[in-house]
Structure 1
Amino acid sequence: MRFPRALKLTAVFYGWKVVAAGATLQMLYASLLGQAYGSYVVLLQREFGWSRTVLSAAPSMQEAQSGLTSPILGWLLDRFGPQRIARVGVVVAGCGLMFFSQVQTPLMFYIAFLMISAGMSMSGFLAVSVAVVQWFERRRSTALSLASAGFAVGGMVVPLTVLVLETAGWRWTAFGSGVLVIAVGLPLTLFLRANPEEMGLLPDGIDTSSEEADQLRLARLSGASGDFTLAEALRERSFWFISLGHASALFVVSSMGVHLVAHLTQSQGYSLAQASTVVFSLTLLFLVGTISGGLAGDRVNKRKLVVVCMGMHCAGLLLLSHAQGVGMVVGFTLLHGLAWGWRGPQMTALRAEYFGRTSFGKIMGASNVVIILGSVCGPLIAGFAYDITGDYRVGFDILAVMALLGSVFFILARKPDPPQRRPYVPHAAGVV
């Protein structure tokens, strides 16, 4: 069936539906467990008497599993498309949450978390990023920022999850969360189509009958689109500099997620309610920064923007580490929250800009193996420094140095030249 051209031009570009579905999936995971896990910790410790080591090992296992399996997941996403992989992931995550509601031993707890982690990896950030990257080029940063905003919005919904936990108990909440993930998540995965070409469309909603569309098709057919294979990307220094810079950023962000409240309450003397206000403010600034950063990333040099953000992380951490009043804590909150939001969408958009979208899943998956070092090691180093010195100053100063080092990595991450391949011969491809 052929649609009138006017209808095609006025209809909402399907790529925005991909963004909306991805944002909702990430909001779902963040609100039900990702950012609500701290509340589960309190209830699990109360019921089972498990140590903090037992309970904190689960998120570490989740990070390790995510990083180690990312190369395989990236290949699967490129081979079978985000829709199929995410569909399986939603079911696995939902079943994992329902199994979590029945745990009685640490072993069952870890098995449940591995199921949840595997499912969320298959249908969460990486799958959504791969899908969004395929649908956008000129407005890629904006699209990625809106998809990532679901994580921040999910954090704001956590109080509702906590209310259900207090009312219904953690077992019923976990079981209901599993049902909700499957019931809501499965329909959402239907929107994660692999690429616009399979629907007769082009990235950014380019008119398929335009001269620009013809040039885009010819570039892809000839191999002159500039897209890298995984092997070609791995040979580029920029791949490693971006990965190391991203790891440095997560070194900082993951440490704040674990240690910020403890530092504010134990070292700075703030109440838990006041510390929670800082965390909420960071989440709000992250949301504002994510959206505004996405818009900016489509208009300015992404790499230079990230360099500035890493400098803001560094300055914010120094303020927090040596805070002597509420003003310095407010300064940290503004600098860290906005830098976190502005930088986030550029991490994915920068790789897509440098290496293209053809093998993006495999390239992003390989990069995650390096990135995960930051999110795993950061909290451990900050915690170890606290155990040795009795406060967080040394640990947070180390984080500030890592942020500064990250800015150097991004300064060095210059855009690579397109891969050199054999020239395109039209007759060899059956084109005359």
Structure 2
Amino acid sequence: EFWGFFTIFGATAIAVFGISLQTVAYLIDQGFEPVFAAFSFGLIGMLTIAGIAITGILADRFPRHIIATCSYGLTVLGVIALACLQVHQSEILLAIFIVCFGLSAGARGPIITTQMAELFAGRGLASIFGATGVGNGCGAAIGAFLAGLSYDITGGYSLGFFVSLIFLCIGMSMFWVIPGIKNNRIK
């Protein structure tokens, strides 16, 4: 289960940081005014607060792997909407990205930390939190690096979007394939 949580943190961070750190530059490249692009990025941050709170409430009432999957679905929908801006500049697509990505960025945090606290209660929990946090930090660094590298190699953002979508699927799959995470108990 530990490595499942480590993978969730790492894969999700690769995906989210691969998108978020490129957002303003990407929107400007798609023809949006710099101030509007920066404002859009700020809205994502504001919605993240609400998304984390809502996810925490829902995860106390419904199966956590289902809520996590829904949050990943929102992130995927947001990334697809953002990618579609390459084909058609649309405020509607941008709004879909802002709302979906904003409400889901960071949303897995309450689910993961609660499950870890329940599964690994007792001495050593802080060490486990710290070790999985390394996965998150490494994922953030790798995601930012891969997004920049893919842009430098291809001159576009499509490869970065694709890589992020793959890592979102990897993170989400851990909620389904690791029994202790899916069922919230260690055998």
Task: Provide the rounded CA distance (Å) in 1 between the counterparts of 2:141 and 2:3.
Answer: 18
Assess if the C-alpha contact under 8 Å between 1:320 and 1:332 holds in 2. Answer: yes
Amino acid at match of 1:243: F
Task: Provide the rounded CA distance (Å) in 1 between the counterparts of 2:16 and 2:186.
Answer: 32
SS at match of 1:312: helix
- Aligned pair partner of 2:15 in 249, 252, 274: 252
SS at match of 1:298: helix
Assess if the C-alpha contact under 8 Å between 1:242 and 1:413 holds in 2. Answer: no
Assess if the C-alpha contact under 8 Å between 2:19 and 2:147 holds in 1. Answer: no
Amino acid at match of 2:45: T
Matched, 1:313 2:75: yes
- Aligned pair partner of 2:137 in 345, 362, 372: 372
Structure 2 equivalent of residue 355 of structure 1:
120
Assess if the C-alpha contact under 8 Å between 1:252 and 1:403 holds in 2. Answer: yes
Task: Provide the rounded CA distance (Å) in 1 between the counterparts of 2:22 and 2:94.
Answer: 14
Assess if the C-alpha contact under 8 Å between 1:288 and 1:341 holds in 2. Answer: no
Assess if the C-alpha contact under 8 Å between 1:311 and 1:404 holds in 2. Answer: no
Amino acid at match of 1:322: C
1:53-75 per-residue CA deviation (whole Å, 9 max, x = no partner) reads xxxxxxxxxxxxxxxxxxxxxxx
Q: Which of the pair has more CA radius of gyration?
A: 1
Matched, 1:271 2:33: yes
The CA deviation at 1:357 is 4.1
SS at match of 1:314: helix
Query: Given the superposition, is the C-alpha separation of residues 370 and 287 from structure 1 closer, same or farther in structure 2, using an over 3 Å criterion?
Result: closer
Structure 2 equivalent of residue 400 of structure 1:
165
Amino acid at match of 1:252: A
User: How many residues of Structure 1 are paired with residues of Structure 2 in the alignment?
Assistant: 180
1:29-84 per-residue CA deviation (whole Å, 9 max, x = no partner) reads xxxxxxxxxxxxxxxxxxxxxxxxxxxxxxxxxxxxxxxxxxxxxxxxxxxxxxxx
Task: Provide the rounded CA distance (Å) in 1 between the counterparts of 2:119 and 2:74.
Answer: 24
- Aligned pair partner of 2:103 in 338, 350, 365: 338
Assess if the C-alpha contact under 8 Å between 2:147 and 2:160 holds in 1. Answer: yes
Task: Provide the rounded CA distance (Å) in 1 between the counterparts of 2:96 and 2:122.
Answer: 38
Structure 1 equivalent of residue 6 of structure 2:
243
Structure 2 equivalent of residue 417 of structure 1:
186
SS at match of 2:123: coil
Task: Provide the rounded CA distance (Å) in 1 between the counterparts of 2:109 and 2:28.
Answer: 28
% identical aligned pairs:
26
| Higher RCO, 1 vs 2 (CA within 8 Å, ≥6 residues apart) | 2
Amino acid at match of 1:242: F
* Unaligned runs of at least 5 residues, structure 2: none
Matched, 1:289 2:51: yes
Assess if the C-alpha contact under 8 Å between 2:19 and 2:160 holds in 1. Answer: no
SS at match of 1:278: helix
* Unaligned runs of at least 5 residues, structure 1: 1-237, 419-432
Amino acid at match of 1:282: I
Assess if the C-alpha contact under 8 Å between 1:245 and 1:409 holds in 2. Answer: yes
Structure 2 equivalent of residue 61 of structure 1:
none
SS at match of 2:179: coil
Q: Give runs of aligned pairs for residues 187-198 of structure 1, distance below 5 A.
A: none
- Aligned pair partner of 1:328 in 93, 99, 107: 93
The TM-score normalised by the length of structure 2 is 0.88
Task: Provide the rounded CA distance (Å) in 1 between the counterparts of 2:178 and 2:37.
Answer: 36
Structure 2 equivalent of residue 184 of structure 1:
none
1:348-400 per-residue CA deviation (whole Å, 9 max, x = no partner) reads 11211221143210111122233322111101111111111111111112111
Assess if the C-alpha contact under 8 Å between 1:250 and 1:374 holds in 2. Answer: yes
The CA deviation at 1:329 is 1.4
Task: Provide the rounded CA distance (Å) in 2 between the counterparts of 1:306 and 1:277.
Answer: 27
